[in-house]
Structure 1
Amino acid sequence: MISEPELVGEEHYGAAELPGPRSGTEDLVSAEDAPAASRPARPAWLWALGGAVVASAVWAGGLYVYGSKAPDLGGYRASADLCKDAELKAVSFALGPREGEGYAWGNAHESVDDSGCSADMRPVGYEVPKDEDGVEMGGMPSVTVGYTLHKKTDPGPEFGGTVAARHNYFGSSTKLTRIDDLGEQAYIVRDSDSSGITLEVLDGQAVLTMSAHSDWDVDTGEPLADMAEIEPLLVEDMRALMLKLKS
């Protein structure tokens, strides 16, 4: 007759028992003791299971470290004063020297640093007309610079789409052109009336913009500056700014 299987506790029925810790005295064998029975070898599948558990733990730990690792900023730093970093030497040949220091602003956050600069450029010999009360009746050409350093997420997947969407919003009033050999991606957006031109650049975690605008002479109705040849000057000043922000 086949007897009923012996149960070893409810939790251990049918489970393999792993050897517990051994004390120092229980393993000592005296001369009168019978030879201790040899320890049964562990099944191969236990060793394989143990290796898989260790490998999984190492892999999961690697994923955690990788996922928590901050992105490489490519040497870019935050700007304390973008008007000082953006010297605008090339653009000044077309628009005139900078009027004063310009107006700089910035915001710092653990995930993103954002800064900007706005500067008026005075054409050589130009004076803004004033009315009889001495109030200026016009403006001057200007340059606006923007710089955003993304310290947590990659701006790359959205950069081209953002530029294109903004261009599509203005429709036929702007012209969009791709610029080669400047950062990872670069575009020129030009107003159809040639009064304004904007250079937008993606370089790793940094997104930079540089816009030049010409005001109009209130007496003649003509642009105060020739914007036709300003594109390479913007590119030159942008390269200089990118190098400065990595110094």
Structure 2
Amino acid sequence: MISEPEMVPEGHFGAAELPEQRPSSDDVVADGDGTAAPRPSRPGWLWALGGALVASAVWAAGLYAYGFGDPGLGGYRTSKDLCADAELKGLTAVLGERVGGDSGGWGSEHESLHESWCYTDLRPPGHVVETDEDGSELTSFPHASLSYTLHMKTDPGPEFEGWVVARSATGDDEPVPLRRVDGLGERAFIVDEEVGGTSTLHVLDGQAVLTLSVSSDWDAETGGPLTDVSELEPIMVEDMTALMAKLKSGEAGEGEEGGEAGEGGEAQES
């Protein structure tokens, strides 16, 4: 059966009008005589260009905020005398008093990286220094060494574990046995060197990387360690926790001003 021809509005001969093709009330404008006329449509490429410009502006703003800005230091300040900042109350109570007082730290400052180091011997109570027939000392003290690196520009997190492994490598093919220490900083590991009688605690906390290494005294006859420093892990964690709190408290060691370091390593008041 042949249906009747479809009726189409005047001016649209030959094509049926679809609902979405009909102009809406928002798409018409009034002519000078008040007659409504269709509003000229905007080209699709113009809308796409506007969207691309907005997206580029948002991306650029985010890149500036997160890619080019200096990272927050989490309250950490620089240290001009790490030996003065590190009290080591636990280790001195177990191994003996510090030899040479609280000074002895040294460091290096740059606008992108600040480093500090400390070395101190620990003399057990009543320790008598033995000498040979030539007067040379035959004894040694247990000692502690510390390092503190504050990264001012880049994030040390992605390289931290690899850095610990590289520093602990002995040249053998055997993997370095890292032990995870929970509850200290962002990540922490301890490495025991059985032959050398040394334990080293490595800590990552935001932009700060810290190490505390404790080595045993030595037996002059056997050449072996006299103290099992691997048993000192809880004390090392305690002393490291105190040092981290000191470096974040703004309380500087003797001869150092508090506050975070600004560009060029000069301390600024917090």
Does the 8 Å contact 1:104/1:116 carry over to 2?
Answer: yes
- Corresponding residue of 1:75: 75
1:191 is matched with which residue: 184, 190, 193? 193
- Corresponding residue of 1:206: 208
Deviation at 1:97, TM superposition (A): 1.0
- Corresponding residue of 1:53: 53
Does 2:131 match 1:130?
A: yes
What are the within-5 Å matches in structure 2 for residues 1-247 of structure 1?
A: 43=42, 45=44, 46=46, 49-50=49-50, 52-101=52-101, 102-132=103-133, 134-169=135-170, 171=172, 175-193=177-195, 195-218=197-220, 223-247=225-249
**More displaced, 100-109 or 158-167?**
158-167
Task: Name the SS for the 1:189 alignment partner.
Answer: strand
- Corresponding residue of 1:13: none
Distance change in 2, residues 1:220/1:51 (3 Å): closer
**More displaced, 64-73 or 88-97?**
64-73
Deviation at 1:176, TM superposition (A): 2.9
Distance change in 2, residues 1:87/1:132 (3 Å): same
Q: Distance in 2 between matches of 1:54 and 1:193?
A: 63
Deviation at 1:122, TM superposition (A): 0.3
Give per-residue Cα distances to partners, 1:83-106, cap 9 Å, x unaligned: 011000001122101112252110
Does the 8 Å contact 2:81/2:104 carry over to 1?
Answer: no
Deviation at 1:237, TM superposition (A): 0.2
Task: Name the SS for the 1:59 alignment partner.
Answer: helix
Distance change in 2, residues 1:109/1:142 (3 Å): same
Distance change in 2, residues 1:59/1:92 (3 Å): same
Task: Name the SS for the 2:87 alignment partner.
Answer: coil
Q: Distance in 1 between matches of 2:73 and 2:50?
A: 40
Give per-residue Cα distances to partners, 1:133-158, cap 9 Å, x unaligned: 54433321110001111111111111
Deviation at 1:64, TM superposition (A): 2.5
Deviation at 1:225, TM superposition (A): 3.5
Does the 8 Å contact 1:103/1:118 carry over to 2?
Answer: yes
**More displaced, 218-227 or 110-119?**
218-227
Q: Distance in 1 between matches of 2:230 and 2:51?
A: 69
Does the 8 Å contact 2:219/2:225 carry over to 1?
Answer: yes
Q: How many residues align?
A: 211
Distance change in 2, residues 1:96/1:55 (3 Å): same
Distance change in 2, residues 1:44/1:147 (3 Å): same
Task: Name the SS for the 2:237 alignment partner.
Answer: helix
Does the 8 Å contact 1:140/1:224 carry over to 2?
Answer: no
Percent identity of equivalent pairs: 56
**Structure 1 unmatched ranges of 5 or more:** 1-39
**Structure 2 unmatched ranges of 5 or more:** 1-38, 250-270
TM-score, normalised by the number of residues in structure 2: 0.68
Does the 8 Å contact 1:167/1:176 carry over to 2?
Answer: no
**More displaced, 198-207 or 227-236?**
227-236
Deviation at 1:168, TM superposition (A): 4.6
Does the 8 Å contact 1:123/1:225 carry over to 2?
Answer: no
Distance change in 2, residues 1:89/1:58 (3 Å): same
Distance change in 2, residues 1:237/1:169 (3 Å): same
Does the 8 Å contact 1:194/1:227 carry over to 2?
Answer: no
